[in-house]
Structure 1
Amino acid sequence: MKKIIAILIWILSSASFVFAQDVFPIRGFCIAAPAAPELDTFVKFIDEELAPRKVNTLVLRVDFNFQFKSHPELSEKEGLSKKDVKKLVAICKKHSIRLIPQINLLGHQSWAGKTGNLLKVYPELDETPHVKMPEKYEWPNADGLYCKSYCPLHPNVHGIVFPLVDEICDAFEADAFHAGMDEVFYIGDDKCPRCAGRDKAELFANEVNKISNHLALKNRQLWIWGDRLLDGKTTGIGAWEASMNNTHRAVDLINKNVMICDWHYDRPDQTAVYFAMKGFSVITCPWKKPDNAIAQAKDLLNSRKQATKELKPRYQGMIQTIWSGASSFLDEFYGKKPAGPESESACFKALFAEINSTATNTTNK
């Protein structure tokens, strides 16, 4: 009898998974890769929290939190070892979770007053070397400094970053790579000897395509954030979740096989429709406002229901984004620190309750 009950539970669970997959093919979670000391807690979180919620895609922002062999000078001192990574690979394989690593390329080469490892070790790659990092960072500032970028036309840059990309994809056994590429404010700078005077949209598109084409050599797909491909002025979305420096025209210049992660945090703007109609597969990404996340899930579901057979497969699903870091998020999730009604953990719980409720209702119809 116990065996029969177990089989029935497995059948019902499998049916729920299939219908959840039909509602949203991608049901994802994006977070910074954990530091080595918190790895086991994070593996437990995958096993006991992500898997039961039918999460099937995990984007880990690794950056330099890995013991690179190709460029060890860029690794964080206590970066994850290959053995650590295999623990993540194993738990994701157990639950059929697609594991996708991220290293920020082009933009986000600094944060606040700190230069990231790439430009710290290779300062010649800096798009704006004349912009000095402040002792105390404030926004706005006279230099328009949010995050530094590397120069996409520097002759040495890809010889450094592509081995990192290949190594991290190999370690994570990944068939896709997330390159970030969001919030690129420094591009085509007037003082750059290589980029000055060039079309910013073409510079951005050429970098996207170069990365995409490199990944394609090993049958891997490029994922990027979508904000630089939206016209911030025409839409009224503004400079953060869209572009105000003319990179938006790159949407018509980049490879259509690039996956667009379309993030909107303050308003549930329906730009997924725009990306789908431009020919891209798109994933909608909320952050910490549960009401927005639920609205985005409903909008995306309606888009899939009302779409033509050509457009429907392009609406790929949802990814919950976490920006506080793995340790901070886990403390919040497990109640070690308070979580308000608008918080990452509250949004995560609300979003997947909505997705799985929708899947259940679909199953029962």
Structure 2
Amino acid sequence: MKKLFALLWVVCSSISCCFAKPQPTDTLPVRGFCIAAPRVDGLPVFLKFIETELAPRHINTLVLRVDFNYQFKSHPELRDPGSLSEQEVKQLVQTCKKYHIRLIPQINLLGHQSWAGITGNLLKVYPDFDETPWVKMPVKYEWPNPDGLYCKSYCPLHPGVHKIVFELVDEICDAFESTAFHAGMDEVFYIGEEKCPRCGGKDKAELYAGEVWTIRNHLEQKGRQLWIWGDRLLEGKTTGLGAWEASMNNTHRAVDLVPKDIMICDWHYERPDKTPVYFAMKGLSVITCPWRMPENAKLQLKDMYDYRNSATKEMKPRFQGMMQTVWSDAGSFLDEFYGRGKPQKDTLNTSANCFRAIFAK
């Protein structure tokens, strides 16, 4: 009888193990968080957030979307009003160093040079860099629109654009003491436009890849790595991924043309698509980036562990981890995170809940 009970116990234990929650067998190289850099008045609260929330969750990478929220000395004409000073940035640097968090600044390059009806600082001050100067900013922005305007781009072949851009990049990387730079480069709808006197009629994939190489080569001179969003390297039509999470203007072929030492930040917000495998098979390092849907994010996290656990020794290092993305300003996110301010209509699918779901404290 004892042998029978023992046998039954072993069988039941085996069945239970089959349905147990899979446990990760290794540590993700990147446990990241991406958000807009705080404004000056919100800096103390954000520093506290790093200390009390990011560090206890073992976040090891913080990408801050700076853009023009910095008092650039090389180009003061491009500063936002009330932007961060070098001394205030150093507070971020020292706090991240204290908790062994890699700090990476972002300035949107190529695309996202406007938003809705507002032109960004670069094209506002240097309008000749505009890829589509004939497209005028509307008083009231609507999508879709006859011009196909989502966000403006700068022309990657304009002879003066990189001098300005790289002076900004070098200054912000020096201030943040960073070993990497995030160039954005997502949702580029305007590239190689026919009426552009420099790049009209040229292959859009080659233009996109050429800009990636240009930025990468500049960063490489000081030992810095280029990070970009991955959507322009995915094909949107046959995959069904669409025009935002993938490309519908033929830039996707650039996936075979870009350098292999860049980091791809692969964002999918509505579905947990398994595109990291595609990027890894192309020889690229990749991070999965959720936003606001906790259940999707948990599936994406499980997938990332599964990729690493089942990959060949050549593929495994390319699956680099997870990075939570936040698309509000830092102050609004912290209000949401701490339950302050006006409640959202959807109290389940929020960036704060998504963050908590994948990175337990």
Using the size of structure 1 for normalisation, the TM-score is: 0.91
| Residue of structure 2 equivalent to 1:106 | 110
Deviations along 1:286-327, whole A, 9 cap, x unmatched? 000000100000011111111000000100000000001101
Structure 1 residue aligned with 2:26, among 11, 22, 39? Answer: 22
| Residue of structure 1 equivalent to 2:74 | 70
Q: What letter corresponds to residue 215 of structure 2 in structure 1?
A: I
* Alignment of structure 1 residues 241-256 onto 2, 5 Å: 241-256=245-260
Deviations along 1:88-136, whole A, 9 cap, x unmatched? 0010000000000000000000000000000000000000000000000
| Residue of structure 1 equivalent to 2:354 | 347
Structure 1 residue aligned with 2:299, among 295, 306, 315? Answer: 295
The CA distance in 2 between the partners of 1:121 and 1:21, in whole Å, is: 51
The CA distance in 1 between the partners of 2:295 and 2:24, in whole Å, is: 21
Structure 1 residue 351, shift from structure 2 partner: 1.2
The CA distance in 1 between the partners of 2:25 and 2:93, in whole Å, is: 21
The CA distance in 2 between the partners of 1:25 and 1:205, in whole Å, is: 26
**CA distance 1:185–1:21, shift in 2 (3 Å):** farther
The CA distance in 2 between the partners of 1:347 and 1:325, in whole Å, is: 16
* Aligned-residue CA RMSD (Å): 1.2
1:294 match: secondary structure? helix
| Residue of structure 2 equivalent to 1:90 | 94
| Residue of structure 1 equivalent to 2:188 | 184
| Residue of structure 1 equivalent to 2:136 | 132
| Residue of structure 2 equivalent to 1:359 | none
| Residue of structure 2 equivalent to 1:14 | none
Structure 1 residue 21, shift from structure 2 partner: 10
Deviations along 1:222-268, whole A, 9 cap, x unmatched? 00000000011121111000000000000010100010000000000
The CA distance in 2 between the partners of 1:222 and 1:115, in whole Å, is: 25
Structure 1 residue aligned with 2:120, among 105, 116, 125? Answer: 116
1:235 match: secondary structure? coil
1:248 match: secondary structure? helix
| Residue of structure 1 equivalent to 2:320 | 316
Conserved? CA contact 2:89–2:176, under 8 Å: yes
Structure 1 residue 20, shift from structure 2 partner: 8.5
2:100 match: secondary structure? coil
2:106 match: secondary structure? strand
**CA distance 1:135–1:52, shift in 2 (3 Å):** same
| Residue of structure 1 equivalent to 2:264 | 260
Structure 2 residue aligned with 1:158, among 139, 162, 172? Answer: 162
1:222 match: secondary structure? strand
2:62 match: secondary structure? strand
Structure 2 residue aligned with 1:221, among 188, 206, 225? Answer: 225
> Does 2:180 correspond to 1:142?
no
Q: What letter corresponds to residue 101 of structure 1 in structure 2?
A: P
Q: What letter corresponds to residue 246 of structure 1 in structure 2?
A: N
Deviations along 1:191-243, whole A, 9 cap, x unmatched? 10001110000000000000000000000000000000001112111100000
The CA distance in 2 between the partners of 1:292 and 1:145, in whole Å, is: 30
| Residue of structure 2 equivalent to 1:13 | none
The CA distance in 2 between the partners of 1:128 and 1:82, in whole Å, is: 34
> Does 2:242 correspond to 1:235?
no
Structure 1 residue 23, shift from structure 2 partner: 2.4
| Residue of structure 2 equivalent to 1:360 | none
The CA distance in 1 between the partners of 2:258 and 2:213, in whole Å, is: 6
Task: Flag the structure with larger Rg.
Answer: 2
The CA distance in 1 between the partners of 2:214 and 2:99, in whole Å, is: 33
Q: What letter corresponds to residue 81 of structure 1 in structure 2?
A: S
2:291 match: secondary structure? coil
> Does 2:61 correspond to 1:54?
no
| Residue of structure 1 equivalent to 2:19 | none
The CA distance in 1 between the partners of 2:78 and 2:26, in whole Å, is: 41
Q: Percent identity?
A: 72
Q: What letter corresponds to residue 354 of structure 2 in structure 1?
A: C
- Unaligned runs of 5+ residues in structure 2 are 1-22
Q: What letter corresponds to residue 279 of structure 1 in structure 2?
A: G
> Does 2:216 correspond to 1:209?
no
Conserved? CA contact 2:212–2:258, under 8 Å: yes
Structure 1 residue 22, shift from structure 2 partner: 3.4
Conserved? CA contact 2:132–2:196, under 8 Å: yes
Using the size of structure 2 for normalisation, the TM-score is: 0.92
The alignment covers a number of residue pairs equal to 336
| Residue of structure 2 equivalent to 1:3 | none
When structure 1 is superposed on structure 2, of 21-30 and 269-278 the one drifting more is 21-30
Q: What letter corresponds to residue 124 of structure 1 in structure 2?
A: D
The CA distance in 1 between the partners of 2:310 and 2:289, in whole Å, is: 20
